Structures are given as C-alpha cells and as structure tokens.
Amino acid sequence: MLRFIIRRVLQIIPTIMVVALLIFVIFSVVPGTFASSLFSDGKTAADPELVARITEQFGLDKPVHVRFVSYVTDLARLDLGTSFRTRRPVLELINERMWTSLRLATAAMIFAIVIAVPLGFLAALRPGSILDTVTMVGAVSGLSLPQFWLGLLLMYLFALKLNLLPSFGYGDGSFKHLILPAVTLGVTPLALLARTTRAGVLDVLNADFVRTAHSKGLSETQVVRWHVARNALVLIITTIALLLGSLIGQAVVIEKLFAWPGIGSLLVDSVSMRDIPVVQGTILVIVMWFLVINTVVDVIYALIDPRIKQV
Amino acid sequence: MMPLLQIRNLNLGLKRAGSSYALLHDVSFDIMPGEIYGLVGESGSGKSVTSLAVIGLLKKPLQVLGGEINFRGKNLLALRRREMRAMRGRRIAMVFQEPMTALNPLATIGRQIAEMYVLHQAKNWSEAGQLAVEALASVRVPNPERRAKDYPHQMSGGLRQRVMIAMALACNPDLLIADEPTTALDVTVQAEVLKLIRELCAERGTAVLFISHDLGVIAEMCQRVGVMYAGCLVEENDTAALFANPRHEYTRGLLGALPRMGSRLEHGRQRLVDIDSVIEDRSTLTSRRFITPRQDIAAQ
Amino acid sequence: MKFGFNFILGATLTTLVILGGLLAPWLANFDPVFDADLMNAELPPDWTFWFGTDAQGRDVYSRILYGAQISLTVGIVSQVINTFIGVALGMSAAYWGGWWDDLVNGLTNVMLAIPSLIFALAVMAVLGPGLASLLIALGLTNWSWTCRIARSSTLSLKTLGYVQAAQTLGYGDVRIMFTQILPNIMGPVLVMATLGMGSAVLSEAALSFLGLGIQPPFPSWGSMLTDARQLIQLAPWTAIFPGLAIFLAVLGFNLLGDGLRDILDPHMRTRLS
C-alpha cells in the first residue's frame, strides 16, 4: 500500500514540471515585445517610460533561454516571482487567499455530495418514479445553468429582496457569508454527481452479484448496504475527482461575482491587469492542488477496491 | 411421500399493454425430497426462467401468468414478498452459472459466506466467520482459514463455484437450484464440482433442481430428467429410461445429435443427426403456436 | 422509442437558437448596438421593448437574438477545432502507438491536470480579449476528452478484420484512418462535440462575464450579464433574460447530446461519464 502511495505521489512531479513549462511557454511566446504587449490593451499605446522601467526591473528584455533558466531556478526555490502591480511576492499574495478559496471549495463540495449521492441512490432504487424523473430533470438543468447567473438570481432573491443573507464579500468569515457562494458553486457538481450516482447504482443493481445477494434472502436495504454501496462508491469517487477540475474553474468566476477574496478572484484580476507573474504563479498553485487532491482520491480508491493495488 | 416441490401448470411470460407473450406453457413437474431432478433443453427453452420463478427472482417485465408452485405444501406464488424472502437462502438456495461475476468483488469471500449465518441463524459476525471457514472446508477448499480472507478475484473459477455452493448450502436448504453450475468451468474442474454437489446433497438430504443443456452432465448427476422445448415440458422420466428409450421425438433428436464414442466402429460412418431448425421467433407463439417443421412434435 | 424525448426536446431548443441567430436581422426590433437611447434606459418589459432595456437604453430582446449568433459561432467553431485536434491526436496515437502514443497520452494527462476554464483564462491573458482569442482559447482547451474517446475507439477498431485487410491491400495509413476508422468513431465523437458546444457556450459566457471575452458593446449573453450585475436591483430583467437564453441554449445542446448518445448506443452513458 505504501509503495502505491509513494508511486502515485511521485507521478505528480513530471506532470507539474510539464505544466510549469507549458505556462512559461504560453506567457513568453507572444507576438510583439513582451513588455509592451503587457501594457497595451490594443487601444492605447503603452507609456514607453513605464515599459522601459518594467522591462529593466523584471529582466524582460533578456533572451528566452535566460529567462527560462531563472524561471526554473526560482521555482526550485519556491519563488513564484513578484507581482508587476503590487511589487509583492506572488507567493505571499497566494498564501493570504488560499485558505479562503479552500473554504469555499470544500463547502461547495460538501453541499453537492450530501445532496447528490443520497438523491442518486434513491432515484436508482426507484427508477421511473417521480423522484427519479425530478432528479434527472434537475440534473440536466443544473448542468446547463450558467452558475454565475444562478448566483446573480440567488443574490437578488436572498440578499437584495429578502435581505436574509449578505450579498457579497467574506465579511467576518461567518457562515452567513459562505452560504450563497457555496450553494452557487455547488449546483453544477451536484447535478453531475446526482446523475452519475444514479447511473452507477443502476449498473451495480443489474450486476450478477446483486442477484446472488437476493437469492441469499437479503432484503433490499441489506443488499444496498452490504453489496451495492461499496461498488457504487467507486464510480462516485471517480466522478468527484473529475468534478474538482470544473469546480476549481467555476470557483474563479463565482469568487469574482461574490467578491470572495480567494485566489480565484486574484487570478481574474491579474489577468485583467496583465500581471503575468501572478497569473503564472496562481495557475501553478491551482494545478498543484488539483493534482494533490486527485492523488488523495486515487489512494482512497485503492483503499476501497482491493483489485486496484494489483495494477 | 409428499413431493417437496410441485409445479402445476406454470405459465410465465411478458405482459405488455394488452398483449401477453408466453415463455412457459403449462409446465408441471414434481421433485421429491432428496432427489436430483434435471431439467434439460437447448438455450431459450425456458429452463432458467422456471428456476427463477421457483426462487421468486423473476425481473419485470417477466411475470407469472398462471399456475402454482407448491413447496412443502405452500403455494410460493401466493406468498407475500416478506414471506418469500424468508424462504430464500434458508429453504431454497441457488447457484448460478457465472462464478466470475456472481460474487461481490469488494467483499472477502469469508464475509460473503458469513452473511448467511448472520442473516438466517442470528449469529454475530465473529461466530459466523468461524462457521464460514467450516463451510469452506466442507466444500474442500484447501487452506480455508486463509482463503476466507481472500477476495473473489484472487480465486479461480472452480474455487469460486465451490464458494457459491458453500454459501448456498450454508443453512441446509431443502432445495438447491443449480443453473448450469459447471458450464463456465474447465472440463477438468467440472467433474470435481459435480461430484461435490452430488455428495454434499446426498449427505444433507438436499433436493436439487439441476439445469443444464449438457446431456452428459445430466446423465451423470440426475435421477430423473425433464426435457424442455420452447417453453413446454415435453418428456419426463428416470434418467436411465429416458436415455435408453426416449419417447418424444424431440428427445430422440436431442439424443441422436450426441456424438458418441466408438459410434464409427459400431454403426459405420454416420452423420450427426441434426434437429431441423432452431427455436423460432417466440413472438409468433401466440395462438397458432409452432409454425416450423417441428410443429407436429410440439403439438403432442 | 428511437428518437427519444431528450433528442426531440434538445433538437427543438437548438433549432430555436439557430433560427434566432440566423434570422436575427429580421426578427429583431432594434439594432443591438446602435439603437441606444439613454432616454429609454432601464425600462421594464413592455410592448415596444419585449424584454425591457438595459442601462444604455438598448433593447434586450434584440440583443439576445444577436447574442445567439455569437454563442453559436463560439460553440461551433470551438468544437470544430476541439474535435479536429482530439480526433487527429487520438486516432493517430492509437493507430501508430509507440512513442507517439506515449507523447499524446502525456500531453492529454497534462491538459487534464489543468482545469479548462483556468487554461482558457491563461490563453486569454496572453491573446487579449475578443472573439478571435476566445475561439482559439476554447478550441485549445477541451480536446482531451475527444482525444481519449477517439483513442480508445480506434484501439478497439484497430484489431478488427477490415482494418487488417486494408493494410494488406497496401492502403496507406492515413487513408485507412480516414476511410475505415474515422466513420466508425464518429458516433461517440459527435456526442462529445454536441455536449462540448454547451460547455463552450457556458465558458464563453463566463469569460465574457469576467470582462475577458467579448467586449462591449457587442451583445454576448455573458457580457450582458456583467452589466446586469450592477443593475440587478433596479432592472432585474436585464439579468433574467440573457441568463435564460444561455440556459435554454445549453440545455438544448445537452439534451441533444444525450439524445444522440441514447440513439447511438445506450451503453455509452457510463463509459463516457
């Protein structure tokens, strides 16, 4: 088991290296001068003095391979560079906001799991029922909703009209502030998870070993608890891992919408301001987290399914 | 002696908006306590579906359209779901064809056997675990204590089938239904598993409804045989009598189609007798039943 | 039912969106960009302005019709690019195997490690805002799933008799891939492309909402929602209708994709998910 964990952890390294390379390539190979393209938005020309200063300060006029080397050596020292805008180290900026984002993401995931999984199970156990139809319709709708639109509507309804919840911000970190963003963020994962849970449970219910379980005289509840649950769990966990990717992506938009001070809104702001070091650093950190969580999920997977370790 | 299982005029089929489509036509047979009764026929003859009806595991849209299944005097078809469930595993048990998929891949086999004791004999899990090891020993699994902690994928098909048998016989049911239990196994393993079923059931006095399309296996295992064709039971006899003197033309055809050792020497070169056509499309089997050349056979 | 409920509803919605976009010049009541009279700002829906007006006095209904053009363009073009990249890489990786397969697999894994919206953001950061950059960004993001599907489908087809027959006849590799394999993998690929259109429209909406996609005054449904954000309390209709349009369009694509999947192979559901 331990060997499996170590192996999976080690697999992250080449991936993150390639991602870092990819990010560097994307941001370096741009048409025109690197610096001036940063400071012009295509409409007004950049102020030449500002451009010259930034270029010198950040060594942007050095050739690509020199920049690459310093990029890599910086990364090795866990130095993600300095923000163009605020002159502060990128790592510091990220650190301030990381836990805030994690809080939101976790809340959204928990919200999604707690509702979707039982719903999916029940829908599969009663196919064709009203619950089933409602779940399926709800799921497809949830997947088609633009999340930020839902956020806007919820904001309108609960915060502005009914005045029940704060409409934006982190506030004092109280739960009230977390609800709207977390629910908005969690809706699409909920929809997808409900759908795949239902499909997965249905598949398991049709499996031969479930027929065997019935032939042994187990009641439906016992069959579900003793045989179906664990097998369906495998598919559920796979789905959760997949969901994380889109969750992180959407979190960026939701954070901006609700003015939630996480790394998502940091990323958006930096992109608007063309603050490249921050963009690079944030993306790298986000991908890192994503890979780490995926590895954790894989390990959980191996704990549940004894067949995986053989692979 | 009272028959253990008495099936009378069992009709079974699909019922869809208005029309029904029959799969079994007035099937009737008895199984005595402790006897091994074989049900033989080609694929699609209705053997498996009969067994599922007995143990009550027919899945919609299949349903029983008429008849009785009397088990120890009680009509199983008239029982409530809870009562029928109480029968399963306890009085009527089943072994299925595919050992590779019939066991839960995520639970140890010891645990899966132990379930029987926890469920039907109100044992706690540790007692049940011990009994499970004993059950494994009874089906001659080597190293039963260690094996009990294994997962299904760590065992061969033959071993898994033994586990299935152990599970099925755990609570000493009166009737064991074996639906093609050795079809998916290697020939060498087949013989062992068949022997195991025969001996264990003889020991415990368990009756067996043995289903197979393999005449050789039937001949080896069963005391009495019923021949099924297109949802009807066309002939029934003691095994030896059936093989020696088949009365129904289909049975004759079935036996005639068997390649026999030494047939060339004894009877000169002979072609394997082929039964004309296959079981035709069932949707045509409503009022005008059989439309093929086998019409006259089935009409008997 | 061959043409299931999903398919029919999906096809209907999609057709409505397409018609809305294509016939916008005739169906719209006003010009979406230039008919901006501040005297008409923030009016609720009435007989002149069916969906009300926005902060610049523009007719929301007309803007939504023209917005369909943008959404459709983004959906279709990005998916064409996606499919092209995904199929080309996936099919060739499975067919040729070896180091090329390893390379493509590695690349796919890396792409899957980066959430697609984040990657699109990065590309937009480099290319700047606008329709063209949006198309490139979205075209470059979601090809990994199509690639996987194409690859696994090709792998199973590769061993089939007619492929080997073609090889012995001396057909070139590319020709085999195009004529023998491609037609047979189009099913799942088409399903993915349809579902991908919905995803692309959502991504475009999100990016435009963030101000990084289609720039004002062009009527992208997403950018309409950016403006609406400020107005939501005073003029909720400016937020309701664009969002509803996005929802219905994406719902249409999703249902269509699901419907196609059910028609082509009901077992695809768990495989693809």
Q: How far apart are CA A186 and CA A250, in angstroms?
A: 10
Average pLDDT value for residue range B237-266: 74
Q: Does residue C270 belong to the interface with chain A, where contact is any CB pair within 8 Å?
A: yes
Total Cβ atoms within 10 A of residue C159: 8
Q: What pLDDT score does B112 carry?
A: 93
Output the CA–CA distances (angstroms, integers) from residue A258 to A94, A121, B277, in the order listed. Answer: 19, 33, 72
**DSSP 3-state of A88:** coil
* pLDDT over threshold 90, residue A303: no
H or E element that contains B236? strand B232-238
- Total count of residues recorded for chain A: 311
Q: Do A253 and C246 touch (CB under 8 A)?
A: no
- Report the largest interatomic distance among the alpha carbons of chain A, rounded to a whole angstrom: 83
Q: Do A146 and C110 touch (CB under 8 A)?
A: no
B88 DSSP β-pair partners: B92
Tokens 């950049």 sit on residue? A46
Mean pLDDT of the residues in chain A: 81
Output the CA–CA distances (angstroms, integers) from residue B1 to A64, B4, B32, B54, in the order listed. Answer: 96, 9, 8, 21
pLDDT in tens, B128-174: 999 999 999 999 999 999 999 999 989 988 899 999 999 999 999 99
Residue of C nearest to A199 (CA): C270
Cα dihedral across residues A113, A117, A119, A123: positive or negative: positive
* CA of C115 vs chain A CAs: smallest distance (Å): 5
* pLDDT over threshold 60, residue A34: no
Counting DSSP H helices and E strands in chain A, the numbers are 13, 0
pLDDT in tens, A208-219: 999 999 999 898
Residue type, A127: P
B16 DSSP β-pair partners: B19
* pLDDT over threshold 50, residue C269: no
**DSSP 3-state of B258:** coil
Least confident stretch, A112-126, A268-282, B33-47, B189-203: A268-282
H or E element that contains C85? helix C60-96
Cα dihedral across residues B192, B194, B196, B202: positive or negative: negative
Tokens 């023209």 sit on residue? C66
**Taking the CA atoms of chain B, what radius of gyration do you get in angstroms?**
20
Q: How far apart are CA B151 and CA B112, in angstroms?
A: 10
Residues 6+ apart with CB under 8 A from A301: A234, A237, A238, A308
| A neighbours by CB contacts (3+ pairs under 8 Å) | B, C
Indicate contact of C with B: 3+ CB pairs under 8 A.
no
Q: What pLDDT score does A91 carry?
A: 84
Write the DSSP string, B155-177. Answer: S-HHHHHHHHHHHHHTT--SEEE
H or E element that contains B280? none
Q: How far apart are CA B6 and CA B209, in angstroms?
A: 12
Adjacency order of strands within the sheet including B232-238: B92-95, B175-179, B207-212, B36-40, B224-229, B232-238
Instruction: Grade residue B271 by pLDDT with cuts at 50, 70 and 90.
Output: low
Q: What pLDDT score does C250 carry?
A: 93
Tokens 């089938």 sit on residue? B161
- The interaxial angle of helices A90-125 and A229-257, nearest 10 deg, is 140
Q: Which structure tokens are listed for C171?
A: 């057909």
Q: What pLDDT score does C26 carry?
A: 82
Total Cβ atoms within 10 A of residue B51: 21
Least confident stretch, B278-287, C109-118, C131-140: B278-287
The more confidently predicted of residues A146 and C43 is A146
Write the DSSP string, A127-147. Answer: TTSHHHHHHHHHHHHHHHS-H
Q: Do A268 and C121 touch (CB under 8 A)?
A: yes
Q: How far apart are CA C92 and CA C99, in angstroms?
A: 11
Q: Are C120 and C143 in contact (CB under 8 A)?
A: no
Q: Does residue A277 belong to the interface with chain C, where contact is any CB pair within 8 Å?
A: no
* CA of A200 vs chain C CAs: smallest distance (Å): 7
Q: How far apart are CA C27 and CA B175, in angstroms?
A: 75
Q: Does residue A172 belong to the interface with chain B, where contact is any CB pair within 8 Å?
A: no
Residue of A nearest to B177 (CA): A215
The percentage of residues in chain C with a pLDDT greater than 70, rounded to a whole number, is 96
- Total count of residues recorded for chain B: 300
For residues C221-253, one letter each, b for 16 or more C-beta atoms within 10 angstroms of the residue's C-beta and e for the rest, the string is bbbbbbbbbebbeebbbbbbbbbebbbebbbbb
Q: How far apart are CA A194 and CA A150, in angstroms?
A: 19
Residues of A with Cβ-Cβ distance to B178 under 8 angstroms: none
Q: How far apart are CA B32 and CA B279, in angstroms?
A: 31
Q: What pLDDT score does C110 carry?
A: 85
**Backbone dihedral angles phi then psi of residue B187, each to the nearest 5 degrees:** -55, -40
Q: Which structure tokens are listed for C25?
A: 């010049």
Mean pLDDT of the residues in chain B: 83
Q: Which structure tokens are listed for A91?
A: 């790592």
Q: How far apart are CA A291 and CA B1, in angstroms?
A: 70
My answer on whether omega of the bond before B61 falls inside 30° of 0, hence cis, is yes
* pLDDT over threshold 60, residue A264: yes
Average pLDDT value for residue range A292-303: 84
Q: For an interface test with B, give the residue of A203, A206, A211, A216 to mutate (most B CBs within 10 A).
A: A216
Q: Do A211 and B102 touch (CB under 8 A)?
A: yes
C178 DSSP 8-state letter: I
- Give the residue among A98, A80, A99 at the shortest CA–CA distance from A90: A80
Q: Which structure tokens are listed for A238?
A: 């796979």
Q: How far apart are CA C138 and CA A258, in angstroms?
A: 25
Q: How far apart are CA C169 and CA A271, in angstroms?
A: 55
pLDDT in tens, C172-207: 777 777 777 788 888 888 988 999 999 999 999 999
**First and final C-alpha spacing in chain B:** 30
Q: Does residue A209 belong to the interface with chain B, where contact is any CB pair within 8 Å?
A: yes
Residue of B nearest to A215 (CA): B88
Q: For an interface test with C, give the residue of A21, A101, A271, A286 to mutate (most C CBs within 10 A).
A: A271
pLDDT in tens, A47-94: 666 666 666 666 666 667 777 777 777 777 777 777 767 778 888 888
* pLDDT over threshold 60, residue B280: no
The more confidently predicted of residues C234 and B28 is B28
pLDDT in tens, C132-148: 888 998 998 889 989 99
Q: What pLDDT score does B262 carry?
A: 56
Q: Does residue C12 belong to the interface with chain A, where contact is any CB pair within 8 Å?
A: no
Residue type, B191: A
Residue B104: which of A217, A222, A227 has the nearest Cβ?
Answer: A227
Residue of B nearest to A301 (CA): B106
Q: How far apart are CA B98 and CA B184, in angstroms?
A: 6
Q: What pLDDT score does A55 carry?
A: 64
Residues 6+ apart with CB under 8 A from C125: A27, A270, A271, A274, A276, A279, C212
The more confidently predicted of residues B17 and B264 is B17
Mean pLDDT of the residues in chain C: 84
Least confident stretch, A273-282, B31-40, B135-144, C253-262: A273-282
Residue type, C150: A
- The interaxial angle of helices C182-209 and C116-127, nearest 10 deg, is 70
Q: What pLDDT score does A61 carry?
A: 63
- Give the residue among B168, B228, B170, B161 at the shortest CA–CA distance from B195: B161
State CA A232 to chain mean position distance: 23
Q: What pLDDT score does A51 carry?
A: 63
pLDDT in tens, B198-218: 999 999 999 999 999 888 888
Name the region of C10 (left: φ>0; alpha: ψ -120 to 50; beta: rest). alpha
Burial class (CB in 10 A: 0-12, 13-18, 19+), B14: middle
* pLDDT over threshold 80, residue B15: no
Total Cβ atoms within 10 A of residue B44: 16
Residue of A nearest to B102 (CA): A209
pLDDT in tens, C54-104: 888 888 888 888 889 888 899 899 999 999 999 999 888 888 888 899 889
pLDDT in tens, B64-114: 888 899 998 888 888 888 899 998 989 999 999 888 889 999 899 999 999
Residues of A with Cβ-Cβ distance to C129 under 8 angstroms: 41
pLDDT in tens, A127-141: 888 888 889 889 999
Q: How far apart are CA B80 and CA B62, in angstroms?
A: 18
The more confidently predicted of residues B262 and C81 is C81
Instruction: Grade residue B294 by pLDDT with cuts at 50, 70 and 90.
Output: very low
Residue A248: which of C118, C236, C250 has the nearest Cβ?
Answer: C118
Q: What pLDDT score does C153 carry?
A: 84
Residues of A with Cβ-Cβ distance to B87 under 8 angstroms: 217
* CA of A101 vs chain C CAs: smallest distance (Å): 15
The more confidently predicted of residues A59 and A255 is A255
The more confidently predicted of residues B8 and A32 is B8
